[in-house]
Structure formats: structure tokens, C-alpha cells
Copies of this chain bind each other. A is one copy, B any other.
Amino acid sequence: MKFEVTILGSSSATPIFNRNPSAQALNINEHFYLVDCGEGTQQQMLRFDVKPSRIDHIFISHLHGDHYLGLVGLLSSMHLNGRARALQLYCPPDLKEIIEMQLKYSETTLQYEIVYHFTNPETPEVILENADITVETIPLDHRIPTTGFLFRQKRRLRKLIADKVAKLNIPVEHYSSLKKGMDYTAEDGTVYKNENLTVASAEPKTYAYCSDTLYNANYFKQISNVDMLYHEATFLHNMFERARVTHHTTALQAGRIATLTNVKKLIIGHFSARYKTLNELLDEARASFPDTELALEGKTFIIE
């Protein structure tokens, strides 16, 4: 039940040396997901050993360049490197036109299919469900249509306690119902309690990605109690007015949001290029939410 988030980029729109724009790679039970894809994400994937060939799902929060300008290059490289498997792309509808125009003018016909799943910035929707997870959009409040993404690991079946199952000679056809939590009734009528034959699997984990957004209580309920929250914290709170006008969040607000929503851990990112060092942003968020970390590039956060 692995759930890891690797930061590939954490800067906001204006570039700064040694910080890349937004991108994160998620490893959930050895399946890989890319969230946002700023310019240079391909190089960051090479740097931090995230293999594009293992990515089957890409999520784009919105169409500001620092969140998607690395995508067409990545899609082209997947093509040049022989990808055949379909790629699932969750994004605002207009991204399709942007991608298709650029493929058209480069006279590129991808060798694989892009399956588009358009996000709706008005209301939360489950946009992906597979054996491991569900992913829901989080409507955010930014200058253009924007959604965050809420990843919920699914609860796994209970695990059989092998020696007990063997000792009782429980037939294989009962394993499935045991894993689902049902008791076992032997041929002689004896009932064996499930809790003595199985153990619960690890608690499923939840991760919310919220970038970019104004501080706005509308989405707080949806992210409540998640195990880890990534929240943008573009500015220090002394730039509150600038944050308000540009529809961004301050580090102090990000800390408050983590407290109000009772999350277990907070990661802040999307730092303005004006901050050469990030300690002040971290201190400000930690003042209200101590378990805060910086989204530093190359860092992997394990949700446990």
C-alpha cells in the first residue's frame, strides 16, 4: 500500500534558477500519476528517475503556463520513445485544442492514443476510479478555471492469517468471503470469527493537491481530514493584498487551512520567484500548523 509524492517542481510563474514550475509524480501501489507538468518537467523526471513510460495518467489543474507548458514536449517524447499504450489525460477542455494544434503544425501523429477526461471547475466529480484509487476534482478559486485533485486510496481486502487458515483446513473457496470480513462456518457448524482468521489491511490514504487558489472556504470540507495536503503558498502574508488580487494563498493562510480542515500533514509550494530562500514561508505556515514541509524539488513524501 505505497503512497508517495515526489516533487518535480515548486515555483510559480516567473522562473528562478534551480526551481522548476509545478509538477509532482505520485507512486500509488507502484502505479504512477503525474500532477501538473510545468516547463522542464521532462528534465526533472530524468533527474529524479521518474520514468515517463510508467505514467498512464496525467492531471492538469489549469491552463496557466507554469502548470502545463512541459506537457507537449513530454507527449512528443513518449511518442519518439515508442509508447503504444493509451495515455489518460485529465484537464480543462481547451487543452485538447492546444495539444492538437501543436501536433498538427509539427506534423506529428502520435503512435498512442490520448484519452481526454475534461474537468469541470464548478463541482467536484470523480474523474478516475481503478482498483487502487479514486480521484476527485476539487473546484478551486483562481483567475481561470482551475481544479485541484483529491486522491483516495481504496480500502484493500483483509489479509488471511495463513497458519490459522491452514490449521482449520479452510477450503479455498471461502478465502474471498473471509477477506471481505465474513465469519467462517465449518462443516460441523462451528463458527469462527473473522477477526481471528484475518487482519485488516493498512488504512487507505488520502492526498489533496490544491494549486492555484484564493483562500476560499468552499473547498475546505472536501479536503477535510486528508492524510496529506499539498497547498500553494505563493506569498508571505505581508503580501496578502497581492495574493488576493492574483487569486493566490499566503503561507499563513495555508497553515490556517490545514488547521481548519484537520489534515495530518501539510506541504506548501508554488513559491514566488521573489523568495530566494524559503524559510520564512515555512515558518509562517508552521506558526499555525507545525507539521508543515516545503515542496522541495526531488523530495519524496511518504504518506504512512
Pairwise interchain contact A105-B63, C-beta atoms closer than 8 A: yes
Copies in the complex: 2
Residue with the greatest number of chain B CB neighbours at <10 A, chosen from A76, A106, A143: A106
List chain B residues, Cβ under 8 A from A73.
Answer: 15, 39, 65-66, 69
In the complex, 12 of the A-B residue pairs with CB atoms within 8 angstroms, ordered by the A residue number, are A13-B77, A15-B42, A17-B43, A39-B39, A39-B69, A40-B43, A63-B102, A63-B106, A65-B102, A92-B105, A95-B105, A101-B101
Q: Other than the known A39-B42, A98-B101, A106-B144, what 17 A-B pairs have Cβ atoms closer than 8 Å? A: A13-B77, A14-B81, A15-B42, A15-B43, A39-B39, A39-B40, A39-B69, A39-B73, A40-B40, A40-B43, A65-B72, A65-B102, A66-B73, A95-B105, A97-B105, A98-B105, A107-B144
Q: Which residues of A contact B (CB under 8 A)?
A: 13-17, 20, 39-40, 42-43, 46-47, 63-66, 69-70, 72-73, 76-77, 80-81, 92, 94-95, 97-98, 101-102, 105-107, 143-144
